[in-house]
Amino acid sequence: MTQLLTRPTRTLATRKTTTVDISGMRTADKPDDILVTYSLGSCVGLTLFDPVAGVGGMIHCMLPLSKIDPEKAKQKPYMFVDTGVAAMLGELYAMGAKRQNLIAKVAGAGSPLGREETFRIGQRNYTILRKFLWKNNILIDKEDVGGARARTLYLYMADGRTTVKSEGKEVEL
């Protein structure tokens, strides 16, 4: 007698896309989650992913140092690289991430107004981010920074893949 084998019916899991606003941060721990942030010009976007713990996060920082407005930093810590990334690391560690497992990827930090931009916010954001990560023994794995184009940054929690979309092209970091 021949027995028919039937495959269990699979439904595609619905991917949940969460937008990280300007001066915002989000963490995730579900494989179907996708984090995305838009309009990275002089702002800097950072993704951190721990493949062992399966947790990750994304932040969209506007300004490098909170000392310019400590009150604003208390209200919106993610607005600033120094306070925002520290808070993000705290949340990821609380979710089970380990520093030695974190994969860091960076996008943005450009000069949307051109090379002669007076305040060089993008360059300063990037410099402070690199210093902060270095002091925490986290090296940047890949980056897409500088220039005058805006970027959209994605983090796919299923595998930690990070992509940048700009001017109609999407590339993996």
Residue 74 is assigned to a structural domain of this protein: yes
Phi, psi of 83 (to 5 degrees): -80, -35
Residue 10 is assigned to a structural domain of this protein: no
pLDDT tens, residue by residue, 17-31: 999 999 999 999 999
| Spatial strand order in the sheet of 16-19 | 16-19, 33-40, 151-156, 161-166, 169-172
pLDDT tens, residue by residue, 65-116: 999 999 999 999 999 999 999 999 999 999 999 999 999 999 999 987 766 5
Q: What is the DSSP letter of 63?
A: B
> Taking a C-beta distance cutoff of 8 angstroms, is the pair 164, 170 a contact?
yes
**Which residues are identified as catalytic?**
43
Residue 93 is assigned to a structural domain of this protein: yes
Instruction: Specify burial of residue 64 (Cβ count, 10 A radius: 0-12, 13-18, 19+).
Output: buried
**Which two tokens mark 154?**
């994605």
Residue 172 is assigned to a structural domain of this protein: no
Residue 173 is assigned to a structural domain of this protein: no
Residue 48 is assigned to a structural domain of this protein: yes
> Taking a C-beta distance cutoff of 8 angstroms, is the pair 26, 20 a contact?
yes
% of the chain with per-residue pLDDT over 90: 86
- Cβ neighbours, 10 Å, residue 75: 9
Residue 147 is assigned to a structural domain of this protein: yes
Cα dihedral 140/143/147/151 (nearest 10)? -120
CATH of the domain at 112: 3.30.1330.200
Q: Which domain holds residue 144?
A: 16-166
Angle between helices 121-135 and 81-94 (to 10 degrees): 40
| Residue 125: closest CA among 143, 100, 103 | 143
pTM of the model: 0.89
> Taking a C-beta distance cutoff of 8 angstroms, is the pair 25, 87 a contact?
yes
**Which two tokens mark 45?**
């976007």
Residue 11 is assigned to a structural domain of this protein: no
pLDDT tens, residue by residue, 131-149: 999 999 999 999 999 999 9
Number of domains comprising the chain: 1
